[in-house]
Structure 1
């Protein structure tokens, strides 16, 4: 399935005007307003701030692009179960798609550099997203373990297991961190495959484009009874699930 529009609309050459004169200014205003709203709401209920502010922010930006989001596998999501969510990573546009449409109260594991973005960082900290320093594994483990200890039923922790965006669209090797957390905490892994986002917003560029993306939610993988020695097999099993949907989406 092609992720871009089947036929380029006649107005597509004018799309950069929409992007820079309408979308970007509106996104900035929504980010400031959303961050300001999330902080006081999170003092009462981080979940409410996440589901009613952050998820709405993601959906508005997705629809303004505009990007059509096709979702498959929502029957695999139990709203009362906590998960370690593992997804592939093709574009920064993966974040509003997964966050906005997977149906879970997500906490996102993000690199420490994002902690410097005004309003975004404050809102994310209030909700409980997890900032990690990739150069400091001990800090990363402590931050993740602290967040897991506070998880409520129906909350997921999102990992992009490749660790970075794939520039080619091909699935990169998976790092162990997400699977170590899942085994240590005996939480099921919920694999997700996202396709089409690389066409909407290619890695390393600011060129936004309307399009169609697909989010496939796979059956959860139980970690009950698994131990440290099982992490590599778990990682391979989840990677195979995610890769299977990539191979059928071309």
Structure 2
């Protein structure tokens, strides 16, 4: 009975609220970033949006913050990717001003593409050497003065909460820019909206921030060990059945 009532709530209440809040968020970012500072307007509307969506979905969010993290320091946050709600979690509960490293194709999305550009997110161009160099320059110029980025190195959502192999991109970026990496564990998000399903579940999600890992002095030869270390740290905060 509870599942049936929540299904009605999902389509009658939550989905309209999601559409309205997303429209409000993108328009606010576009207008605010055009008239003002995108460091503020490109971030705080997203915080409100992310938390509103999670609350509207009746999710129970538990955040385990880390006192070692400095809000004035730029980081590369590396998180496991459990579900579609990871985006709302990051926006609402990361607690650090950040910019996404986004696919070029997202530029063409109505409202979202323009809002992302105005907010100062970096569009990644891997189509040519010139594009890669330009992307790295934009990333270097963006990730400073306390502005961080968030990366899901698995590249896709988990169907069962277990982690897939990590790709190198996030770690190469951290090494190149000499930025600390912060492993982040997301647990429970895959249950909210399972892959290939439209039925949501109002479950609990935890977000755990681990100690930052310095990358200064590391080289590409250290990359495999760094990736393995971050993977192990993130996995350590997952329940036994998801390891």
TM-score by length of 2: 0.90
For the residues of structure 2 that align with 1:165 and 1:140, how far apart are their CA atoms? 25
1:199 correspondence with 2:191 = yes
For the residues of structure 2 that align with 1:213 and 1:21, how far apart are their CA atoms? 23
Write out aligned runs for 1:169-188 (5 A): 169-188=161-180
- Counterpart of 1:56 (choices 45, 48, 55) is 48
Write out aligned runs for 1:231-242 (5 A): 231-242=223-234
- Counterpart of 1:34 (choices 25, 29, 41) is 25
Distance 1:139 1:169, change over 3 A: farther
Gaps of 5+ in 2: none
1:18 correspondence with 2:22 = no
| Residue of structure 2 equivalent to 1:4 | none
Q: Deviations over 1:4-53 (max 9, x none)?
A: xxxxxx53312122111221112111111211110122232112113320
- Counterpart of 2:97 (choices 91, 105, 109) is 105
Once the two structures are overlaid, the 10-residue window that deviates more, 138-147 or 121-130, is: 138-147
Q: Deviations over 1:114-135 (max 9, x none)?
A: 3333222221221122333677
Q: Deviations over 1:185-236 (max 9, x none)?
A: 1000011000110011112333222111000000000001111211111111
Contact map agreement 2:17 2:56 (CA 8 A) in 1 = no
For the residues of structure 2 that align with 1:77 and 1:208, how far apart are their CA atoms? 33
- Counterpart of 1:121 (choices 113, 116, 140) is 113
For the residues of structure 1 that align with 2:209 and 2:132, how far apart are their CA atoms? 26
| Residue of structure 1 equivalent to 2:68 | 76
Gaps of 5+ in 1: 1-9
Contact map agreement 2:161 2:188 (CA 8 A) in 1 = no
Contact map agreement 1:46 1:128 (CA 8 A) in 2 = yes
CA RMSD, aligned part only? 2.1
> SS where residue 158 of structure 1 aligns?
strand
Write out aligned runs for 1:147-158 (5 A): 147-158=139-150
The ranges of structure 1 where at least 4 consecutive aligned residues each deviate by more than 6 angstroms after the TM superposition are: 134-138
Which one scores higher on RCO, CA 8 angstroms, separation ≥ 6? Answer: 1
Distance 1:167 1:229, change over 3 A: same
Cα deviation for residue 162 of structure 1 reads 0.7
Once the two structures are overlaid, the 10-residue window that deviates more, 41-50 or 190-199, is: 41-50
Q: Deviations over 1:57-105 (max 9, x none)?
A: 1110000001111011332321010001100001011111122101011
Contact map agreement 1:111 1:134 (CA 8 A) in 2 = no
How many aligned positions are there?
Answer: 241
